[in-house]
């Protein structure tokens, strides 16, 4: 009889010693929702582990009176979270992938890229303009966006509108739209509105011919310490192969162009019948000059996973040992080839001028 009692006591002891995985996140409501969704998936996969969420503010959350492109800091929404990773205060961090620079600080890697939601941009209209589209808004209507990429493309497409910077988290921006009479509409990522449960506010979805999206938009990235093999194995199961390959191509394109949030660069990717298609473009700040090209590559997924020795498994900051290396290299190569093509056609000049103008304002 005492044997059963001992077993129960041991089980209880073990459960109280259950390993705790600490997950870092930004404090905004959207960041918490995104982190909760990743943690829920991990809990289902690993019922024997406990997860603790630690929320913190980042530089990008604190500086709200300046356009993102002017702050000139690549890791606006990630630096504080990376410090916590470095100091072992958290084991992994959930980010919007588009916030993660294409070159990560040494010692960090993206250990998982989750299945992408809609990568498109959405238009939310002021209540008095519900039912309109950007095309049918009155002349000189002011549209709010914090993104040079959106403003450049949309100015070119809708010259009758004016574009003005709007900052703050989703809740703040919607409040500014509804309560101030300053904006007729604002542009936000469709995925964020979806995750917040605010689909009913979407008045228009912008398709690639109107506005191509940001690199990595709509996908979540899980950042970890590059040498923490335990945690890399733990989160690696979250990789969505198609999203991963599309995002490797997009990030390689942006990295090779040396773009960031201070210049208008946008992409569109698709996987179809073993082909990966990448369209990429660069714009001048006012959208007057632009350059756009599309390329494709065959993604060969071997029947058997051939894993050779690798010195550095990272590609554009991403580690994915459970996805065929050959496919990852083909995606990276596609991004680099497209960037090279645009640079050879004069994209560097457009980007340099955009960067200088942005710095001067």
Predicted confidence (pLDDT) per residue in 226-252, tens digit: 999 999 999 999 999 999 999 999 999
Q: What is the pLDDT of residues 203-230, one digit of tens each?
A: 999 999 999 999 999 999 999 999 999 9
Q: What is the pLDDT of residues 26-75, one digit of tens each?
A: 888 999 999 999 999 999 999 999 999 999 876 544 444 444 444 344 44
Q: What is the pLDDT of residues 66-121, one digit of tens each?
A: 444 443 444 455 778 888 999 999 999 999 999 898 999 999 999 999 999 999 99
How far lies 253's CA from each of 169, 212, 280, 340, in Å? 28, 14, 8, 9
Residue ranges per structural domain of the chain: 20-118+215-360, 121-205
The tokens describing 351, both together, are 């980007």
The predicted structure's pLDDT at residue 99: 86
The predicted structure's pLDDT at residue 356: 84
Range 185-199 average pLDDT: 96
Q: How far is CA 326 from the centre of its chain?
A: 24
356 vs 298, more confident: 298
CATH code, residues 20-118+215-360: 3.30.160.40
Give the whole-number percent of the chain exceeding pLDDT 90.
73
Query: Which one of the listed residues 6, 61, 91, 99 is annotated catalytic?
Result: 99
- Backbone φ and ψ for 115, nearest 5 degrees, come out as -55, 130
Whether the pLDDT of residue 149 is over 90: the answer is yes
The predicted structure's pLDDT at residue 355: 83
Interstrand relation of 121-125 and 108-113 (parallel, antiparallel or unpaired): unpaired
- Backbone φ and ψ for 205, nearest 5 degrees, come out as -105, 130
The predicted structure's pLDDT at residue 10: 42
Question: Would residue 99 show up in a list of annotated catalytic residues for this protein?
Answer: yes
Q: Using the Cα atoms of residue 51, residue 53, residue 59 and residue 65 in order, give the sign of their dihedral.
A: positive
203 vs 146, more confident: 203
- Please give the sequence-ordered ranges of beta strands (E in DSSP) within the chain, or none if there are none: 20-26, 50-56, 92-96, 108-113, 121-125, 142-144, 162-164, 185-189, 202-206, 220-225, 265-272, 275-283, 290-298
- Asked if 158 and 134 count as a contact pair (C-beta separation under 8 A), the reply is yes
Q: What is the pLDDT of residues 338-358, one digit of tens each?
A: 999 999 999 999 988 888 887
CATH code, residues 121-205: 3.40.190.10
DSSP 3-state assignment of 101? coil
């Amino acid at each position: 009889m005492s044997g059963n009692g001992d077993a129960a006591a041991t089980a209880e002891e073990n459960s109280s010693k259950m390993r705790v995985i600490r997950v870092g996140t930004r404090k905004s409501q959207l960041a918490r929702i995104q982190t909760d969704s990743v943690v829920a998936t991990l809990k289902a996969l690993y019922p024997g582990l406990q997860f603790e969420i630690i929320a913190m503010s980042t530089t990008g959350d604190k500086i709200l009176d300046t356009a993102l492109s002017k702050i000139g800091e690549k890791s606006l929404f990630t630096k504080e979270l990376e410090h916590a990773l470095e100091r072992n205060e958290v084991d992994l961090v959930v980010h919007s992938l588009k916030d993660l620079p294409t070159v990560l600080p040494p010692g960090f890697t993206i250990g998982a890229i989750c299945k992408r939601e809609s990568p498109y941009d959405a238009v939310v209209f002021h209540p008095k303009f519900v039912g309109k589209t950007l095309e049918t808004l009155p002349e000189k209507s002011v549209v709010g966006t914090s993104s040079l990429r959106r403003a450049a493309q949309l100015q070119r497409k809708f010259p009758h509108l004016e574009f003005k910077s709007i900052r703050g988290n989703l809740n703040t921006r919607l409040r500014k739209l509804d309560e101030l009479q300053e904006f007729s509409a604002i542009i936000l990522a469709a995925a964020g509105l979806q995750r917040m449960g605010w689909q009913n506010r979407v008045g228009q979805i912008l398709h690639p011919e109107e506005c191509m999206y940001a690199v990595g938009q709509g996908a979540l990235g899980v950042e970890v310490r590059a040498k923490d093999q335990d945690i890399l194995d733990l989160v690696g199961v979250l990789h969505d192969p198609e999203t991963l390959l599309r995002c490797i191509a997009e990030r390689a394109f942006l990295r090779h162009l040396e773009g960031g949030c201070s210049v208008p660069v946008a992409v569109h990717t698709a996987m179809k019948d073993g082909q990966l298609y990448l369209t990429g473009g660069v714009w001048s700040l006012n959208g007057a000059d632009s350059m756009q090209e599309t390329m494709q590559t065959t993604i060969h997924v071997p029947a058997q996973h051939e894993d050779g020795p690798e010195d550095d498994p990272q590609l554009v900051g991403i580690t994915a040992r459970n996805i065929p290396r050959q496919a990852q290299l083909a995606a990276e190569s596609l991004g680099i080839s497209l960037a090279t093509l645009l640079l050879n056609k004069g994209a560097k000049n457009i980007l340099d001028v955009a960067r200088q103008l942005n710095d001067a304002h």
